[in-house]
Structure 1
């Protein structure tokens, strides 16, 4: 795959995230990279103080460093900043980090030699995954600690993650014929300044949530049928009057998913209910709003993936080296916070649908979806699990970006907390997958009580996919394995082909 700095698309980022692609820097990027490196080399040989080239860092920016110590300065920077803690970042995140940093440096405004980009791509293409502890970045001055661990591995001094084991970097680099990276002036700073960790984490969440969101639409439609709800609220005229694009698209998905259902016909003929609960009726409004937030986050993250975010920046046309704050990850933090709210809401309305299904007074199904309630508890406590997970997501959805702790002796006095804002999305996604898995089981159980009536073709396929691993709950049994199996199928996108195969429906993600 050709890595074109400044021109990465969401599809390309998804391919890098998935793995299995070799990356090559676009040769057209080389002249700009070489020109900016020449500016830094001239500054390193000169007498003027230039931040990051011949000075200390952060609060120590006024300390001059002699020419004989410039390489040591960069090495010490990486060593001292490799202070992350916690579990390692997942390989898809690290692949994105390597690619995003190479793409950012490849724009030609960072002052690094081509050899630095070559080292990043060589490690990526060899399938090596630097061991990068997940915790320790506040998302300003760059993702300093995680990017330092990445760079330390490139230098042959850090570690790689090999099937979950920490392996010393030096021997592994030699085994793959990769020379350890020797840093020149400014190169260590350019490698660790930037938002590549927080951006990679947020992209990881966006891409991981896509099959879960697709599952939410299929399972939500199945619940409409199980509860014999109306398809009137999905009429396109309603949504056109509001004009919210996510809402319009989600309503269209529901119309297609429910088309041809015999249960729908039964509802229109025999049901005296005037309006359905919000958890059924307002699905386009709620999930559509979440979709709009996720689409906006995708736009922000693709822009950030193509950005130059280190400091100082080098402008070869006039030789200027300008200090600024592109390393501040506020755009990523705010996007990740919006994603957190969207993810939490998809789970929250799913939990409400489960509660509705087990309530015989609302759903008109047997209590707790069991034919012999009392002797059997049915889905009573499975709903409690869903409620617990939905409540947990409420706490996790609290915005991280509004919290700032000054660091570096108050030089870095406002930080974004973007790295945590993006990292906490994975447990939230896992919670939503479990909630949807429970709803899937409950909705399929509900439809079973309506036989011989059948749902639509895609929704009957959804039931059949579930029943391959999770049989109907005729009497109480150990349900935890079923919950795990259903959640795994949600995460794995088993239901996605049902949605993507519908005729004349819009793509869920709008390509950025």
Structure 2
């Protein structure tokens, strides 16, 4: 018998379409990026216009001039030398490498901006980026270096150098010399001239990509927070007045009304025990208001991030149909800086909720008489005691790191960049925060699963019961004690799978 192996599915993304958060997540693996004829023609027209402007002796920042505060000096005579000079002085990043998923998403975001045809780069640049995304290649890009004000100059310079075969890169998840990584993926080193190098680095595509990936995960985690609240309320036998539509309609906030509707859907069919207090702790009773406010913040931040992903981030921009070269500040990442910091605040408060719900569940004075820390034999066993301690450390780390980056403006670059948004750091912080939130939710889910083992009732609402069944199938009861770090991550994976089916992306 011959086995026919189906090749792995490769998502197809057209640069002519609007970018989505799903596109950014797909770019973490191999994707096929298509360049339609209209895009090619638009890019070629922009490139020809740039070359005509240079031939006519028109001043064009970065092509006929030095960079940054050295704009008053002439640049190098040869285009290729000018490109080399730009990349050389910007290859100065420090710190650990960014995750491959962020870097590859940034490549897609940069490609999308360049494909609008306003940057004057050559079509071969777009083709090279698209070809790279079809492989496992990922430039090694250090975390620190961008202030997000004249584009993500330093990290995108490292990205471009790797595409030229310099520095380091990843192929198949293995870090190696960039030239070797290119060869192993069947890619040729990128060659640049004209305005190609400046077009590749002079935008905040890393910022937009990191913020977009953070928002994609937070969208799932927000739904997970509602599911876990419903599971907790159902297992404890709580009443459902806190989610009643008359109550929340009166509150007057549309997103809170939506949140309550989702909670009612999760809790449909639940049977309250009648043994709970008249009013539950705020970690249950005020969840519609809390997660509804989170939903409001998410919508605003998502809108800003998508606008950035589908706009043009560069300077100058070229408008051949109007015979215009316009110099300005479309590389200034303030919108996403604010959006990412707003997201971080919402993520941290959602983490606060999860940590407090875990505390409620392990406390025998508030959990309906379940054993302390959900231990099968308290004293001889310790249930989720270590998990709670780790969760406390995680939420403390999240709070400590929640200072808005967009408030940290520092003048630099001989005061050419005299005010900066630090959107890159804001976006990377949001990305880190949502990963921590996943671990808090995994910790709470593990405790909810253990609660059933030590005497809590199984959920009575069908939707909650389905989630608990998934957790029980994947995670054994803690009896006897065992290391639980992997179980927390496995629970987080289960929750992501559950949330994927109902998330608007």
5+ long unaligned stretches in structure 1: 502-506
> Does the CA-based 8 Å contact 2:442-2:495 persist in structure 1?
no
> Does the CA-based 8 Å contact 1:365-1:449 persist in structure 2?
no
> Does the CA-based 8 Å contact 2:211-2:431 persist in structure 1?
no
**Cα 1:47–1:299, aligned 2, differ >3 Å: closer, same or farther?**
same
**Within 2, Cα distance between the matches of 1:2 and 1:496?**
24
Structure 1 counterpart of 2:470: 465
**Within 2, Cα distance between the matches of 1:283 and 1:417?**
32
**Offset from partner CA, 1:159-190 (integer Å, 9 cap, x none):** 32124544333354456554433222222111
Question: How many residues are aligned here?
Answer: 493
- Offset at residue 95 of structure 1 (A): 2.1
Structure 1 counterpart of 2:318: 314
Q: Which of residues 147, 159, 168 is equivalent to 2:168?
A: 159
Matches within 5 A, 1:399-414: 399-414=404-419
**Offset from partner CA, 1:290-338 (integer Å, 9 cap, x none):** 1222232221111111111111111111221111111111111111111
**Offset from partner CA, 1:89-145 (integer Å, 9 cap, x none):** 222222212211111111111111211111111222233211212221111100011
Secondary structure of 1:23's counterpart equals strand
**Within 2, Cα distance between the matches of 1:136 and 1:102?**
21
**Within 1, Cα distance between the matches of 2:489 and 2:222?**
13
Matched, 1:7 2:12: no
> Does the CA-based 8 Å contact 1:466-1:486 persist in structure 2?
no
Matches within 5 A, 1:195-214: 195-214=204-223
5+ long unaligned stretches in structure 2: 1-11
> Does the CA-based 8 Å contact 1:221-1:258 persist in structure 2?
yes
Matched, 1:276 2:280: yes
> Does the CA-based 8 Å contact 2:230-2:266 persist in structure 1?
yes
Structure 2 counterpart of 1:300: 304
Secondary structure of 1:413's counterpart equals coil
**Cα 1:259–1:6, aligned 2, differ >3 Å: closer, same or farther?**
closer
**Cα 1:171–1:44, aligned 2, differ >3 Å: closer, same or farther?**
farther
> Does the CA-based 8 Å contact 1:214-1:495 persist in structure 2?
no
Structure 2 counterpart of 1:504: none
**Within 1, Cα distance between the matches of 2:455 and 2:175?**
54
Matches within 5 A, 1:127-206: 127-174=136-183, 178-206=187-215
Secondary structure of 2:143's counterpart equals strand
Q: RMSD of the TM alignment (CA)?
A: 2.5
**Cα 1:234–1:496, aligned 2, differ >3 Å: closer, same or farther?**
farther
Structure 2 counterpart of 1:382: 387
Structure 2 counterpart of 1:51: 61
TM-score in terms of structure 2 length: 0.90
**Within 2, Cα distance between the matches of 1:433 and 1:172?**
32
Structure 1 counterpart of 2:231: 222
Q: Which of residues 472, 486, 503 is equivalent to 1:484?
A: 486
**Within 2, Cα distance between the matches of 1:121 and 1:423?**
24
Structure 2 counterpart of 1:431: 436
- Offset at residue 410 of structure 1 (A): 1.1
> Does the CA-based 8 Å contact 2:169-2:178 persist in structure 1?
yes
Q: Which of residues 365, 369, 376 is equivalent to 1:365?
A: 369
**Within 2, Cα distance between the matches of 1:94 and 1:43?**
33
> Does the CA-based 8 Å contact 1:434-1:484 persist in structure 2?
no
Structure 2 counterpart of 1:100: 109
**Within 2, Cα distance between the matches of 1:36 and 1:245?**
45
Q: Which of residues 11, 27, 33 is equivalent to 1:16?
A: 27
Structure 2 counterpart of 1:42: 52
Matched, 1:420 2:430: no
TM-score in terms of structure 1 length: 0.89
Secondary structure of 1:214's counterpart equals helix
